[in-house]
């Protein structure tokens, strides 16, 4: 099996959410089988709202990104989590 790069979009609950704090919380819950690739990037959405884009490297096995998605969704301040892209590397 190989590795997969997955780009995950994390939407904060509101524009008042402290993104720097949210980034630290997200980094703290990344599962052991996943590695953060690069920095967590802020992406403008609309009216001051910004999403966080996280790129992870995970093993190409069944349910590869699910542990990370579930961990991110449980973080205080996260509205929803969506996988944007996943491709083998």
> Model's pTM, two decimal places?
0.91
In whole angstroms, give the CA distance from residue 50 to residue 55.
16
Residue 82: exposure state from Cβ atoms within 10 A (0-12, 13-18, ≥19): exposed
Residue 33 DSSP class: T
Residue-wise pLDDT tens digits, 41-76: 999 999 999 999 999 999 877 668 899 999 999 999
Tokens of 46: 């609309």
Report the chain's C-alpha Rg in angstroms. Answer: 13
In whole angstroms, give the CA distance from residue 35 to residue 70.
16
Pick the CATH number of 1-86 from 3.30.830.10, 3.30.70.60, 1.20.1530.20, 2.40.10.120: 3.30.70.60
């Amino acid at each position: 099996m190989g590795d997969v790069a997955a780009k995950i979009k994390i939407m904060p609950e509101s524009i008042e959410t402290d993104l720097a704090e949210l980034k630290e919380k997200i980094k703290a819950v990344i599962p052991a089988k996943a590695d953060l690739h690069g920095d967590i990037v802020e992406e403008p959405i609309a009216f001051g709202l910004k999403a966080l884009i996280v790129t992870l490297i995970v093993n190409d096995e069944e349910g590869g990104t699910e542990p990370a998605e579930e961990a991110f969704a449980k973080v205080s301040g996260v509205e929803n989590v969506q996988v944007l892209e996943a491709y083998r590397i």
